[in-house]
Amino acid sequence: MGYRPNATARQLRAGRARLIGYVVGEFAGEPWAYLDSPYFARLTGATSAAALRHGYALVMLPAGTLQREWADLPLEAVIVADPVQDDPLVEDLLAARIPVFSDASVAGRTGAHWVDIDTDAAVRESLDHLRAGGARRPALVLPDSTTRFHRETLAAYRAWCARHGTPERVTLVPTPGNGPVVRAVEQALTADPRPDGLFVVAEASPPLVMDAARRLGLAVPADVRVICVSEDESAAHADPPVSTLSLRPADVAEEGMSLLVSALEADGDTPQGVLLTARLRARKSSMHRN
Amino acid sequence: MGYRPNATARQLRAGRARLIGYVVGEFAGEPWAYLDSPYFARLTGATSAAALRHGYALVMLPAGTLQREWADLPLEAVIVADPVQDDPLVEDLLAARIPVFSDASVAGRTGAHWVDIDTDAAVRESLDHLRAGGARRPALVLPDSTTRFHRETLAAYRAWCARHGTPERVTLVPTPGNGPVVRAVEQALTADPRPDGLFVVAEASPPLVMDAARRLGLAVPADVRVICVSEDESAAHADPPVSTLSLRPADVAEEGMSLLVSALEADGDTPQGVLLTARLRARKSSMHRN
DNA sequence: CTGAAAGCGCTAACAA
DNA sequence: TTGTTAGCGCTTTCAG
């Protein structure tokens, strides 16, 4: 017959709603713009998938809001992807004794768990790769953001430059979006002396980065070797194919959810974390032999 | 003091959980791949935003699953974005008496509401625009999918060709992704006689479509005028800037959520729907004067 | 105006 | 085995 048990009543009885909140700390200005980023799109999808597989459903929350604005949702935990520095949301959540899952910036705090990328190793590998391709003066194009990954990327880049006795060439991108990033790339490539390597951390469509170099009359990789931090599949189809550093959103989601679920299930307040290694996909844009 | 009311108990008392499910009917093979599409990314974000604004939270559900797989979620309604033809999920939901919100393919069914794009008008406007730019033999690059929009696009294209006495030139793209679409574009552009207009409905990075034409030695728009159905912001920055037909995901989400909420609140079983007009953004890739 | 009680729909424990 | 009951935490109603 057509009987369907009442899910809410079961949840009340069980004492758990099997619901996990998901917020992105970045892009506070445009609360949902983060889905336009291939990285966050993948991360969000993979997180949903992993949650479902563990028997939890994911509730999408708008970036830049506080716990009190959706306090009437029975969330067992909240995932805060890429929080900004001293994110008030993280504090709010922790104060409300709601388990938080985020990146390494919450490491050590009670009720907080995390997964993150080994930024230092990733930046070092990328810059070493550019150097191996002949780039002696690699420039960095970085979003002007206080995300842990971006802060650490800048620090790692500076350390690398110091180690190699190379002056730093950093162009900050004020806002997300293809337009601003392309302008920053052009700016970086027209500096004097011109960089012979480019590490584009700000998210942009890789074909557009190639277009920018072409417009300036620069050959990639002969004149400038390029690596983009990107999950955008179009990198492989660009002309030339663009080397990418993948932050492995699918694996981050997978590993993170396993950790979160065991923490929830074990009722563990003991903070735990996992560190993953980024993956460099070398393509033609960075491979050059003199 | 630190008292926090139990959300589940309140929901049980209130008899409503203020939770709405969200599934995409397409991409059944890769349940979460839809977020890689700028269209669905926007649609998903905007739907979340609109839901929250109306006091509902959105729960992400994997494409290609059935109601029974997440039956223990207290969903007041489920949004099925772009269902495939005779989608079993829609039937499943309707049978379980869960209100469904989807596209025009569910129009008229009890407990179902919808919002959709006027496909016929959109296709006609696009092809007329290509023709006004001098394209006498426009070709169509279409995903091999049974979504209502894709079915109706094909029908509208055929009707337009018949009306103008032009033979049909249709290239079907077997699977989503930049690679397959770019190959289909190349195939379409190397047909004999070569088309002088291209309506790319399959989602691809617009700069890559320009790259494909360039590789074949074709000038855009002089040799071939191009319109892409795309929400990808990179279209505006491509070389040349690519004309796009926007399916207005943000407005679809907005209008749809208003309708859904009033249906839920009014307890209305009477089917209702809204039809929106797509927006053509003419850029250089389609503007040519002989 | 303050306080007690009923009941939302379920499940787990217990009684028959 | 099958049937009854208590109680999850809240809100609303009703009594004091």
Q: How far is B186 from chain A (nearest CA, A)?
A: 13
Which residue has its C-alpha nearest to nucleotide D8's C1'?
A13
Residue B217, C-beta contacts closer than 8 angstroms, at least 6 positions apart:
none
Q: What is the pLDDT of residues A146-178, one digit of tens each?
A: 999 999 999 999 999 999 999 999 999 999 999
Which of A8, A61, A96 is facing B17, going by the closest CB pair? A8
Q: What is the pLDDT of residues A98-139, one digit of tens each?
A: 999 999 999 999 999 999 999 999 999 999 999 999 999 999
Q: In what order do the strands lie in the sheet with A100-102?
A: A273-276, A112-117, A100-102, A77-81, A19-24, A57-60, B57-60, B19-24, B77-81, B100-102, B112-117, B273-276
In this complex, the answer to whether residue B73 has its CB under 7 A from any atom of chain D, a nucleic strand, is no
B60 contacts A57? CB cut-off 8 A: yes
Residue A268 binned pLDDT confidence (cut-offs 50, 70, 90):
low
Could you tell me whether strands A243-246 and A279-281 are parallel, antiparallel, or unpaired per DSSP bridges? antiparallel
pLDDT surpasses 70 at B28: no
Domain spans of chain B, in order of start: 7-116+248-276, 119-247+281-286
A202 DSSP assignment: S
B88/B263 Cα distance (integer angstroms): 23
A207/B207 Cα distance (integer angstroms): 6
A60 contacts B58? CB cut-off 8 A: yes
| CATH number corresponding to A7-116+248-276 | 3.40.50.2300
Q: Are A262 and A195 in contact (CB under 8 A)?
A: no
**Percentage of the residues of chain A whose pLDDT score is greater than 90:** 87
Q: What is the pLDDT of residues A31-63, one digit of tens each?
A: 888 899 999 999 999 999 999 999 999 999 988
Distance B84 CA to D6 C1' (A): 48
Provide DSSP, A21-51.
Answer: EEEESS-SSSTTGGGGSHHHHHHHHHHHHHH
B142/B151 Cα distance (integer angstroms): 9
Length of chain A: 290
Give the burial class of A48: count Cβ atoms within 10 A of its Cβ; 0-12 exposed, 13-18 middle, 19 or more buried: buried
Task: Give the tokens for residue A61.
Answer: 């929350």
B60 contacts A48? CB cut-off 8 A: yes
Contacting residues of B for A48, CB less than 8 Å apart: 32, 60, 62
Q: What is the pLDDT of residues B191-217, one digit of tens each?
A: 999 999 999 999 999 999 999 999 999
Instruction: Confirm or reject contact between B42 and chain A (CB < 8 A).
Output: yes
**Percentage of the residues of chain B whose pLDDT score is greater than 90:** 87
Q: How far apart are the first and last CA of chain A?
A: 76
- Phi and psi angles of residue B5, each rounded to the nearest 5 degrees, phi first: -60, 150
Which of A58, A72, A179 is facing B10, going by the closest CB pair? A72
Distance A19 CA to D10 C1' (A): 19
B208 contacts A237? CB cut-off 8 A: yes
Contact pairs from chain A to chain B, CB under 8 Å: 166
A285 DSSP assignment: G
The SS3 call for residue A75 is coil
Distance B5 CA to C2 C1' (A): 21
Residue A82 binned pLDDT confidence (cut-offs 50, 70, 90):
very high
pLDDT for position A289: 72
Q: What is the pLDDT of residues A193-246, one digit of tens each?
A: 999 999 999 999 999 999 999 999 999 999 999 999 999 999 999 999 999 999
Q: Angle at CA A244, nearest 5°, toward A241 and A249? A: 135
- Phi and psi angles of residue B57, each rounded to the nearest 5 degrees, phi first: -110, 150
pLDDT for position B215: 95
- Phi and psi angles of residue A159, each rounded to the nearest 5 degrees, phi first: -60, -40
Nearest nucleotide by C1' position to the B3 CA atom: D9
A86/A97 Cα distance (integer angstroms): 17
pLDDT for position B271: 82
pLDDT surpasses 70 at A182: yes
pLDDT for position A28: 62
Which of A57, A177, A232 is facing B59, going by the closest CB pair? A57
pLDDT for position A267: 65
Residue of B nearest to A231 (CA): B36
Q: What is the pLDDT of residues B231-244, one digit of tens each?
A: 999 999 999 999 99
Q: What is the pLDDT of residues B137-192, one digit of tens each?
A: 999 999 999 999 999 999 999 999 999 999 999 999 999 999 999 999 999 999 99
Q: Within window 254-273 on A, which residues have Cβ closer than 7 Å to strand C?
A: none
A207 contacts B208? CB cut-off 8 A: yes
pLDDT for position A106: 96
Is A119-247+281-286 in the same CATH topology as A7-116+248-276?
yes
A149/A101 Cα distance (integer angstroms): 16
- CATH entry 3.40.50.2300 includes domain B119-247+281-286: yes
Distance A127 CA to D6 C1' (A): 66
Instruction: Confirm or reject contact between B28 and chain A (CB < 8 A).
Output: no
Q: Angle at CA A51, nearest 5°, toward A277 and A7? A: 170
Instruction: Confirm or reject contact between A177 and chain B (CB < 8 A).
Output: yes
Q: Within window 5-24 on A, which residues have Cβ closer than 7 Å to strand D?
A: 9, 12-13, 15
Distance B20 CA to C1 C1' (A): 40
In this complex, the answer to whether residue A1 has its CB under 7 A from any atom of chain C, a nucleic strand, is no
| Mean pLDDT to the nearest integer, B63-84 | 92
B237 contacts A179? CB cut-off 8 A: yes
* Mean pLDDT, rounded, of chain A: 94
Q: Within window 12-41 on A, which residues have Cβ closer than 7 Å to strand C?
A: 12-14
Residue of A nearest to B182 (CA): A237
pLDDT for position A282: 98
In this complex, the answer to whether residue B16 has its CB under 7 A from any atom of chain D, a nucleic strand, is no
